[in-house]
Structure 1
Amino acid sequence: MDGKTAIVTGSSSGIGKAVAKRLADDGANVVVNSRSRERAKAAAEDIGGDGRTVVPIEADITEYDEVEALLEQTTDEFERVDVLVNNAGMTIIDDAETFDPEEWSRVIDVNLNGTFYCSQAAGTRMIEQGDGGQIISISSLLSRQGLAKRTPYAAAKGGINSLTRCLAVEWADEGIHVNALAPGFIKTDITEQTQESAGYTDDDIRDRTPLGRYGTLEEMANCVSFLAAGDHFITGEVLQADGGWLANSWGPTS
């Protein structure tokens, strides 16, 4: 990754921040992005140092003009973009029959529309550069399995899987690899905040996951690092990183 430039959206915390740190450790110039200038700056300061080059850029990925500005600032700073990690996302937990239409639109906007806007903007520049690139979008276990009270989130993540396959086929001739990572249950601040309202416990996750635990932020960052390096024959793939959850058709392992 030495000399390459990577943008990680929604990278002020959680998986995104872990990915940004790992790519910086791998030698990339990294753009940390958040809707909040303060959060982006704090994350960049936390990750930077020890030879890492990390730049914060504020942008709301649901606004196409701001996405364009994000790419312009990146290329102004580093002259190119080689890797895009579409990490920014959100969820709202509610019953399908009472879900507010504005909240539905917000979840779709952040998770799916924003992923397309960023992919389109970055892909256009990669095509102009002429030497390919890597686009990795963060999907979810719920893109392949239903769960109550998560309807718009699951629908958006399923859309990311389809978007990944379509862009991979369309941009293959340009040397652009487009893949997705679908995490299972990962221990993050958001997981802890929503766990009670979602109706599950740590023991529920451990009992249902063959590996017997949550995944870690570092493990997700390792997966993205592998895809971002580009020395593979993989495109249009959704890499499932769920500790064996989907493979386990029987239910609780204990």
Structure 2
Amino acid sequence: MPKTAVVTGSAGGLGKGIAERLAMDGFNVVLHDINEELLKETEEAFKKQGYNVASYKSDVSSKSEQTELTAFAAETFGQLDVFVNNAGIDAVTPFLEVGEDQLEKLFRVNVFGTVYGTQAAAEQYKKQGTKGKVINACSIAGHESYEMLSVYSATKHAVRSFTQSSAKELAQFGITVNAYCPGVAKTAMWDRIDEEMVKYNDDMELGDAFKEFSSAIKLGRYQEPKDVANLVSFLASSDSDYITGQSILTDGGLVYR
């Protein structure tokens, strides 16, 4: 019987790459996003490729909606086996300009969403009486705090901490919790970061921030979705059954921990 995975924030970007890889691996995949139009486009494209997918629109920052998402996955495909907390947002702001709205928004999506998703998945696994996996989107910013990205970095440090503490508590139920930590990828998120950096630095032109960050990558190229998807594929497989509580860097040699 094929296993089932949920990937939040998978209508585009790295999440879409992760969802496609898991579908290629033979998983039933529940695509998820808050952008319903893009979500439906991705679902249609995946079905044309022969993947066994369904889609669900919801807000990861709502605890009840995360519970509804896991229930949908189990009802649609029989049971849930892997839950990928991929959804996340960023913000580029000088530290002295960080305000309540930004703190609230980023922590609600990046941290609350990860906590609620992990809780919902764990409760579903317990209900099924099965083992299960939770895989969280951390970042190089979960290991290193960056200028102009203070709130984003703080949320990803929190994700790394929750990955560790939840792994310790959920191990007794046969549930593993790990995280993947991407670096610099040519995605819409990095396009936004690049644009915002220019606003705060007169010496920068569009594209400079991305070039600066990616030029430090030891393997000599920026990240592609498949680089992240390869790691998530491993973490979702039985080959990773003896790994839990880890936040693994997949950045081409940028941050070393």
Smaller-chain TM-score bracket: over 0.9
Residue 207 (structure 1) shift: 2.7
Q: Aligned partner of 2:54: which letter? A: V
Residue 196 (structure 1) shift: 3.2
Distance 2:73 2:231 in 1: 24
**Is the 8 Å Cα contact of residues 90 and 189 (structure 2) preserved in structure 1?**
no
Distance 1:206 1:3 in 2: 38
Q: What residue number does 2:99 align with?
A: 100
Q: Tell me, yes or no, if structure 1 residue 5 matches structure 2 residue 4.
A: yes
For the aligned residue pairs, the C-alpha RMSD in angstroms reads 1.5
**Counterpart secondary structure, 2:253:** coil
Distance 2:239 2:122 in 1: 19
**Is the 8 Å Cα contact of residues 5 and 27 (structure 2) preserved in structure 1?**
yes
Query: Residues 64-93 of structure 1: CA distance to partner in whole angstroms, max 9, x if unpaired?
Result: 221122122212111211000000000111
Distance 1:28 1:219 in 2: 19
**Is the 8 Å Cα contact of residues 139 and 182 (structure 2) preserved in structure 1?**
yes
Q: Figure out how many residues of one structure are paired with residues of the other and give that number.
A: 247
Q: What residue number does 1:74 align with?
A: 73
**Counterpart secondary structure, 2:110:** helix
Q: Tell me, yes or no, if structure 1 residue 245 matches structure 2 residue 254.
A: yes
Change (3 A) 1:66 1:150: same
**Is the 8 Å Cα contact of residues 10 and 34 (structure 1) preserved in structure 2?**
yes
* Structure 2 spans left out of the alignment, 5+ residues: 199-207
Q: Percent identity?
A: 34
Query: 1:101-180 residue pairs with structure 2 within 5 A?
Result: 101-180=100-179
Change (3 A) 1:220 1:23: same
Residue 202 (structure 1) shift: 4.1
Query: Residues 140-175 of structure 1: CA distance to partner in whole angstroms, max 9, x if unpaired?
Result: 101111211111111110011111111111111211
Distance 2:76 2:237 in 1: 21
Q: What residue number does 1:205 align with?
A: 213
User: Which stretches of structure 1, 4 residues or longer, exceed 3 Å deviation after superposition?
Assistant: 199-203
Q: Aligned partner of 2:62: which letter? A: E
Normalized against structure 2, the TM-score is what?
A: 0.91
> Greater shift after overlay, 210-219 or 33-42?
33-42
Q: Aligned partner of 1:24: which letter? A: A
Q: What residue number does 1:231 align with?
A: 239
**Is the 8 Å Cα contact of residues 93 and 149 (structure 1) preserved in structure 2?**
yes
**Is the 8 Å Cα contact of residues 35 and 58 (structure 1) preserved in structure 2?**
yes
Distance 1:5 1:49 in 2: 19
**Counterpart secondary structure, 2:48:** coil
